[in-house]
Amino acid sequence: MLPRKELFHLPEGMIYLDGNSLGPLPKAVPERVARTVEGEWGAHLITGWNVDDWMGQPSSVGDRVGRLIGAPAGSVVLGDTLSIKVYQALSAALEMVPDRKVILSDTGNFPTDLYMAEGLIRQIGQGHELRLVAPEGVAGAIDEDVAAVLLTHVDYRTGRMHDMSALTQKAHDAGAVMIWDLAHSAGAVPVDLAGCSCAFAVGCTYKYLNAGPGAPAFIYVRPDLQEAVSPALSGWLGHDAPFAFEQSYRPGAGIERMRVGTPPVLQIAALDAALDAWEGVDMADVRAASVELSEVFIAEVSARCPQLTLASPTDPAQRGSQVSFHFEQGYAAMQALIARGVIGDFRAPDIMRFGLTPLFIDEEDVLRAVDILEEVLSNRLWDSPEYLTKSRVT
């Protein structure tokens, strides 16, 4: 069942352990994008909005993403970037608890979530505070001052995974609104949005979902809240009747109101094709394979690369689908590794990060990656001006 390497274009000789940053190209994508460009846009021009259902795809393809994160049909819509979707979710959350002024997040959150929160606070000018605590301190910091808890489920640097269910419960017990950022979760670990009952979730599709650079983000709103949400960024495609061209905004039905402008049709086509690789895949199987690969990787690196210190939790239940290590010369070592065909990435100050993505990575890949890592480290192959000075890979 897994891996499904035959569904991906994986360059010869490369071991790609960076699917947590940008997934590789699914083989179904080029033909599908070409068809959208030539067979739809080229042949149908303006009528593509109807005959090819470009207008409906943010919802219909959104539902396909929804299946992978435990969201019922009609609760996920695609569009914009993750930053914009964070802004929409947070703005809606704050409106739900107007008497509270604290947005709680953690210091490990991805910066754009914090920046968007800062910007929103500045914009609404009601004296909100962005309160950051250490990831392990979040549970203890949820109190009755907290309006919204904004957390990324899996830490982008360390892979540390929050307990989604317990923290959501804790937030609800305190009367706070829970928002989950699933950037490193969708397609990586099982997520049960309906079960955890959080109000909002957001995420991106270019990492584990392999939809390509600049792929659209998504937003989930719990079904019973949808009609009560006042969308910030009230664009025409979130209007109840966009083509009536009314002068005043009226929010659309349900999740549709979270749309803003014209959908990115080519990027959605790529996503739709990329999702084919997930057909028939059970996230529980992905998780089991991911844990197995991660445990092998950690055990081998620990045994053979004493220069590295594990930066991820040792308990797989507290770890997403990536493994990170501290190494003072991590930047140069990652460059040396990349030069030898093992692609991971580096995050300041000293983190070497590896994504374990069972759709296209198997144990043989992991063992070979450790061989090369060991060679780089034990022979100090990173200690070369070429690697020490090269400009940073994003």
Q: Does 56 interact with its own copies (rule: CB under 8 A)?
A: no
Q: Which stretch binds its own copies (CB under 8 A): 207-215, 295-303, 318-326, 362-370?
A: 207-215
Q: Find the shortest distance in angstroms from Cβ 299 to its own copies.
A: 26
For residue 163, which phi and psi values (nearest 5 degrees)? -85, 100
The Cα 355–Cα 17 span in angstroms is 5
Q: Does 180 interact with its own copies (rule: CB under 8 A)?
A: no
Query: Is 340 a residue of the active site?
Result: no
Q: Which stretch binds its own copies (CB under 8 A): 23-31, 133-141, 297-305, 306-314?
A: 23-31
Map the footprint of its own copies across residues 108-127, applying CB under 8 A: 110-112, 114-116, 118-119, 122-126
Q: How many CB atoms lie within 10 A of CB 54?
A: 22
Interface pick for its own copies out of 239, 319, 340, 353 (rule CB under 8 A): 239
Q: Find the shortest distance in angstroms from Cβ 192 to its own copies.
A: 26
Map the footprint of its own copies across residues 260-279, applying CB under 8 A: 260-268, 270
Question: If we measure between CA atoms, which residue out of 10, 28, 33 comes closest to residue 214?
Answer: 33
Query: Is 207 a residue of the active site?
Result: yes
Q: Does 82 interact with its own copies (rule: CB under 8 A)?
A: yes
Query: Is 325 a residue of the active site?
Result: no
Identity of the residue, 123 or 378, whose beta carbon is nearer to its own copies in the bound complex: 123
Q: Find the shortest distance in angstroms from Cβ 223 to its own copies.
A: 23
Residue 343's H or E segment, with its range, is strand 342-343
Maximum alpha-carbon separation in the chain: 69
User: Any idea which residue has 């890592």 for tokens?
Assistant: 373
Q: Which stretch binds its own copies (CB under 8 A): 67-75, 239-247, 298-306, 316-324?
A: 239-247
Compute CA distances 87 → 163, 179, 253, whole Å. 23, 11, 20
Query: Is 170 a residue of the active site?
Result: no
Query: Is 390 a residue of the active site?
Result: no
Token pair in block for residue 66: 């929804």
Q: Rg (Cα) of the chain, in Å, rounded?
A: 22
User: Any idea which residue has 């979730």 for tokens?
Assistant: 201
Q: Does 49 interact with its own copies (rule: CB under 8 A)?
A: yes
The Cα 9–Cα 251 span in angstroms is 42
**Which residues have CB under 8 Å from 295's CB, separation 6+?**
316
Identity of the residue, 2 or 266, whose beta carbon is nearer to its own copies in the bound complex: 266
Q: Does 330 interact with its own copies (rule: CB under 8 A)?
A: no
In the set 8, 16, 87, 110, the catalytic residue is 110
The Cα 95–Cα 98 span in angstroms is 5
Tell me which residues are annotated as active site. Answer: 110, 181, 206-207, 353
